[in-house]
Amino acid sequence: MRAVLLGTAAGGGFPQWNCACRLCASARRGSPGVPARGQDGLAVSADDHNWYLLNASPDLPAQLAATPALAPGPGLRDTPVRGVLLTDAELDHTLGLMLLRGAPDLRVYAPEPVIDALSEAFPVRGLLDSYAEWSWQPVRAGEPLTVHGLVVTAYPVSGKRPRYAASAAAGDDWVVAYRIEDPATGRVLVYAPCLASWPDTFDELTAGADAVLLDGTFFTAGELAEQAGRPAPPGAGATTPMGHLPITGPGGSLDRIRERTGVRWIYTHLNNTNPLLDAGSPHRQALAEAGAQVLDDGTELRI
Ligand code: MLT
Ligand code: MN
Ligand code: ZN
């Protein structure tokens, strides 16, 4: 299978348009080792011809344009993009759906609460219905679906609702991770860009995986507060700011990774506060020592 990292930044991208922090300023200047990053998304294919997007960021038009495998053709309006799999309903993962409105027949897969949110609180589904008949299909925990040779299984990982849907019903499958298997080769990729904690099912989800893309929003639990000049929250390591499990600190994901060798661990969805954005940082070094990495936008994995 081929997998292209379309974007690796959290909501707002990097640099973020309204942020004057040191890292954003470095990226804006084009400093070496601090590349700009679009908002999180991935494209996968088993056969080079039929591609599925995982999440649809508002940066999608630029991400598609930067990815030769996703170029239109051979017919005038043909596209190799067959569908979109959503991990959640957050704006950074769904705004791009509007920008795909020229597609006549896309399939959108998402957990049920996400489809409901996109029908009600953020009614993108209804708006898109006026442009094209897409099919919107709920994904259910542990029920694999096959999309052009890839077997995809959703695992609920958190109940984090977007702020715009704060009054919607609670549920444990607002956010899922996807296990993507190519049965022809037995190779497995896991995509988990939004984790509120290390899920109980994560070992099952990642069993035998060749590569795992996981939530790298925050390096430390306190970095967001620190940047805003607020004191770090008490017991910072154990908290999950904005519903994102930090990389380091007690209960952070890096300690789990250190214990789980034999998998390629790749952090994505990096917030603009995350020191890992600087390739020359000692934080990157610490990551490498624990067996994890950060890759640039546009990187293609052959799995
Ligand atoms: C998140 O990942 O927590 C959200 O995308 C935050 C946001 O709305 O930008
Ligand atoms: Mn996000
Ligand atoms: Zn910034």
Q: Which ligand minimizes its atom distance to the CA of 22?
A: 3
To the nearest 10°, report the CA torsion of 225, 20, 218, 243: 70
Could you tell me the distance, in angstroms and rounded to a whole number, from the CA of residue 176 to the centre of ligand 1? Answer: 15
Q: Which atom of ligand 1 is nearest to the CA of 242?
A: 3
Ligand 1 atom with the shortest distance to the CA of 243: 3
| Edge-to-edge order in the sheet of strand 150-158 | 145-147, 150-158, 175-182, 187-192, 211-215, 264-268, 292-294
Contacts of 184 (CB under 8 A, 6+ apart): 46, 149
Query: What sections of 196-281 are H helices per DSSP?
Result: 202-206, 223-227, 253-259
Residue 190 sits in which domain range? 2-302
Atom index in ligand 1 nearest the CA of residue 194 equals 2
Residue 290 C-alpha from the chain's centroid: 21
Distance 242 CA to ligand 1 centre (A): 7
What value does the mean pLDDT take over residues 82-99? 98
What are phi and psi for residue 111, nearest 5 degrees? -60, 155
Question: How many CB atoms neighbour CB 91 within 10 A?
Answer: 16
Could you tell me the distance, in angstroms and rounded to a whole number, from the CA of residue 113 to the centre of ligand 2?
17
| Residue among 92, 176, 224 to mutate when testing ligand 1 (max atoms within 8 A of CB) | 92
The ligand 1 atom at the shortest distance from the C-alpha of residue 244 is 3
Residue positions counted in the chain: 303
Considering only CA atoms, which residue is closest to atom 7 of ligand 1? 11
Distance from the alpha carbon of residue 112 to the mean position of ligand 2, in angstroms? 19
- Taking the centre of ligand 2 as the mean of its atom positions, its distance from the CA of residue 5, in whole angstroms, is 15
CA dihedral for 148, 57, 218, 161, sign (positive or negative)? negative
Determine the pLDDT at residue 233: 66
* Coil vs helix vs strand at 274: coil
Confidence of residue 186 (pLDDT cuts 50, 70, 90): very high
**What's the gap in Å between 236 CA and the centre of ligand 1?**
19
CATH code: domain of residue 184: 3.60.15.10
pLDDT of residue 228: 87
Query: How far does Cα 89 stand from its chain's mean position?
Result: 12
Structural element, H or E, at residue 97: helix 96-99
Identify the pLDDT of residue 238: 52
What is the average per-residue pLDDT within 234-243? 69
Residues 6+ apart with CB under 8 A from 89: 110, 113, 114, 117, 118, 122, 161, 162, 165, 174
Total count of domains within the chain: 1
Mean pLDDT of 144-161: 98
Closest among 126, 117, 115, 9 to 59, alpha carbons compared: 9
Burial of 11 (0-12, 13-18, 19+ CB in 10 A): buried
- Spatial CB neighbours of 162, under 8 Å, sequence gap ≥ 6: 88, 89, 90, 91, 117, 121, 122
Question: Is pLDDT above 70 for 120?
Answer: yes
* pLDDT at residue 235 is higher than 60: no
Ligand 1 neighbours by CB, cut-off 6 Å: 10-11, 90-92, 194, 242-243
**CA atoms of 268 and 296, how far apart (whole Å):** 10
Query: From the alpha carbon of 217, which atom of ligand 1 is closest?
Result: 2
Radius of gyration of the chain (CA): 18
Element (H, E) at 214: strand 211-215
Chain-centroid distance of CA 199 in Å reads: 16
CA proximity to 174, closest of 235, 237, 94, 253: 94
Ligand 1 pocket mutation, candidates 19, 88, 91, 214, criterion most atoms within 8 A of CB: 91
Percent of the chain with pLDDT over 90: 94
Ligand in nearest proximity to the CA of 228: 3
pLDDT tens profile 22-32: 999 999 999 99
Q: Report the residue among 55, 90, 194 best suited for mutation to probe ligand 1: largest number of ligand atoms under 8 A from its CB.
A: 90
